[in-house]
Structure 1
Amino acid sequence: MEGRIMKIGIIGTGNIGGALARKLSAAGHDVRVANSSGTEGARAFAREIGAEPTDVHGAVAGVNVIILAIPLPAMRELPANLFDRVPIETTIIDTSNYYPGLRDSRIPEIDDGLTESVWVARQIGRPVIKAFNNALAYTLAELGKPKGTPSRLAIAVAGDDVRSKQTAMELVNQAGFDPVDAGSLEDSWRQQPSTPSYCCDYDARGSRCGNPWSCRHEAGPVARALREVGVESLPC
């Protein structure tokens, strides 16, 4: 495996969390998985992929990386003290997306323009890195390629802490994708649903070229209009 072996706790074993758990475990990392059903609810999947089943408290204890792979509004349902003893150097990756009226309840702050992962960081009281959100679950599970492969697909990584961002980019590479530095956490609105960078399977060059075409003052109204008619993202 290229890179260091890390202890990784993943909260959420759905399409995204499950795909990441499978890939990162196969890459040689020490992976723990947790979901809303507790340790027993995660046991069968953990056994299948060679990971350790746990609950949300176990997923954040003594790990190098925490991956939050749950619906965005579910961040409010995490235990209030969950991150109190997590060292500040622990990398926390947010993979979530906001789908109001389709799957998620409304969050007024985001509806009014707050960047989704900035809201997540405020909810959990810790800085986060935004990554793995702008690729489909099938893409994550099936379309990763070795480093150096021509036209290898890219995944955007946004955040404010340089070291944590580098860790997230390392995991993106190990998952089979070219990591693209997408700027600060505030800038991660560029990889949210209904923007040109969302779920369009670009390579690194395409991702870097597409990001500047996102227009923040248009993204919110466009997203709201599309969601009203049941469309989750712009066509690629």
Structure 2
Amino acid sequence: MTQTIGILGSGLAGKAIAHLATAAGYNVVIANSRGPETLTSLVEDLGPLARAGTIEEAIAAGDIVNLSIPLASFEKLPADKLASKIVVDQTNYYPGMGDFRRADLDNAELTSSELLQRHLPEARLVKGLHNLSWIHMEADAQPEGSATRTTLPVAGDDAEAKAEVTKFIEKIGFNVVDAGSLAESWRIEPETGIYFWCYAPDVPDGLSHDEAKRVYQQPGKPLSREEARKLIETAKRPSPIGGNLAAMPQIHVDLFMEQASAGTV
């Protein structure tokens, strides 16, 4: 039977996952905080395998539920509805964006995924699909066996849930390596070697905005499983903890701000 992916969040990351999932033959139920009536054009674009729903409907329908939301919104997630669900944590901690900041994250007392797991104690949480941009989620996805297929990490405490998420990620276009437990997921968080930079192409200096945009939207150099494992094993815990949009390539910041201005983030 065809699996259904429930997607909470219809911003850039949620849309990218929805496109990859429907292209791979999954059913998708996508939801946002504004209601399913705001998703009509997106669902039309996604095709017959997708439909819009409420948050509760997307959770209920999903064999896997993908969290494409800001980490700052985690307390709004219904823990009771997500109990026993396989949940993909696509969130990241960016303390410089907005007002969301926590001492327990800043002081490395726990990872952002452990924070989510505490809020969702009965969910089967797996960290994944969080460490490359929305652009390269789609640009870098390749069929199984392709020489240009890149590798993404997952982390989690539930082995069966991690195996199911691994199958999903492999089917939508990526190789996968195991990065360990949720406590070890700092190894794949922002500012580590396997986060963002290794999936984006180099953009030469001196290009016009349009030229830089064209180059940046191309696939990055593929990362092998062996290279991914080495990046994970040799990771140093960042200090300070958390991502920084200003540290990203200027063309990435420009494209992000363009999308934010259009209300699609």
Aligned mate of 1:212, from 233, 236, 242? 233
Structure 2: distance between partners of 1:102 and 1:109: 17
**Could you say what the CA RMSD is over the residues aligned between the two structures, in angstroms?**
2.0
Structure 2: distance between partners of 1:215 and 1:198: 12
1:56 aligns with 2:77: no
The answer as to whether partners of 1:9 and 1:60 remain within 8 angstroms in 2 is yes
The answer as to whether partners of 1:102 and 1:230 remain within 8 angstroms in 2 is no
The answer as to whether partners of 2:36 and 2:52 remain within 8 angstroms in 1 is yes
Q: Shift of residue 32 of structure 1?
A: 0.1
Structure 2: distance between partners of 1:85 and 1:74: 16
The equivalent residue for 1:230 is 246
Q: Shift of residue 49 of structure 1?
A: 0.2
Which moves more between the two structures, 131-140 or 40-49? 40-49
Q: TM-score, normalised by structure 1?
A: 0.86
Q: Shift of residue 104 of structure 1?
A: 5.3
Specify the structure having the higher radius of gyration (Cα). Answer: 2
Q: 1:103 to 1:152 in 2, by over 3 A?
A: farther
Q: Shift of residue 43 of structure 1?
A: 2.4
Q: Shift of residue 137 of structure 1?
A: 1.1
Q: For residue 127 of structure 2, what is the amino acid of its counterpart?
A: K
SS at match of 1:186: coil
The equivalent residue for 2:69 is 70
Structure 1: distance between partners of 2:179 and 2:68: 20
Structure 2: distance between partners of 1:68 and 1:182: 19
Moved over 4 A (4+): none
Aligned mate of 1:183, from 176, 180, 187? 180
Q: For residue 95 of structure 1, what is the amino acid of its counterpart?
A: Q
Structure 2: distance between partners of 1:64 and 1:71: 22
The answer as to whether partners of 2:74 and 2:116 remain within 8 angstroms in 1 is yes
Q: 1:154 to 1:143 in 2, by over 3 A?
A: same
SS at match of 1:230: helix
Q: For residue 220 of structure 1, what is the amino acid of its counterpart?
A: S
The answer as to whether partners of 1:151 and 1:203 remain within 8 angstroms in 2 is no
The equivalent residue for 2:166 is 169
Structure 1: distance between partners of 2:62 and 2:174: 23
Q: Deviations over 1:60-115 (max 9, x none)?
A: 1142111001011111233xxx2424452x31110011111134511222112121
Q: Deviations over 1:121-177 (max 9, x none)?
A: 112333410000111211111111111112421110111111110111111111111
Between the two proteins, the alignment pairs up a number of residues equal to: 221
The equivalent residue for 1:92 is 87
1:160 aligns with 2:176: no
Identify unmatched segments of 5+ residues in structure 1.
Answer: none
Structure 1: distance between partners of 2:226 and 2:140: 17
Q: TM-score, normalised by structure 2?
A: 0.78
